[in-house]
Structure 1
Amino acid sequence: MSTSHLPLYDPAVDDLGVTLRTADALDLARKALDKHSSANVHDHSAMIGAAVGLEMSLRALVAALDKEAGR
């Protein structure tokens, strides 16, 4: 039995080529945490939404910090 796999992040498709300023990325991360903090762990859709939203905001924050540090 074969299972299809689609990664959460594919740089060839998902990379927008834009890096937020650190302050904006931090604000985005805080908003994502606030939005998903009350998600029902027994709701599959809520957990998928939380995982994607938090992954996106974390990726944006890391990119902003890397840019700030010159990496």
Structure 2
Amino acid sequence: MNADTTAAHKPLYDPERDSTYVPSLDIVLACARDELAQYANANIYDAREILGAAVSHHLRLRQLVAALDAEAPRG
């Protein structure tokens, strides 16, 4: 028997919920470097640790793209 999880679905990114604040590119790059160092020794066999790293990297990548777009708007 499979559980219906559609009601429990919550997207990783929701523009209506998530902040529109975009830090400067310098700040985001520094944070990205810190984050890469933080997860460099993550245990690939620990599902919880890898999931945490993946979500954190996804959110940081969104910030990085937003900062790049803010600095050099593309039309």
Normalising by structure 2, we get a TM-score of: 0.81
Match of 1:25?
28
Structure 1 unpaired stretches of 5+: none
Structure with more helix by fraction = 1
Specify every segment of 5 or more residues in structure 2 that has no aligned partner in the other structure, as ranges.
none
From 3, 8, 13, the counterpart of 2:5:
3
Quote the sequence identity (%): 43
Query: Quick check: which has more Rg, 1 or 2?
Result: 2
CA-based RMSD of the aligned residues comes to 1.4
Deviations 1:15-66 (A, max 9, x none): x111110100111111111111111111111011101111111111110000
1:41 maps to what in 2?
A: 44
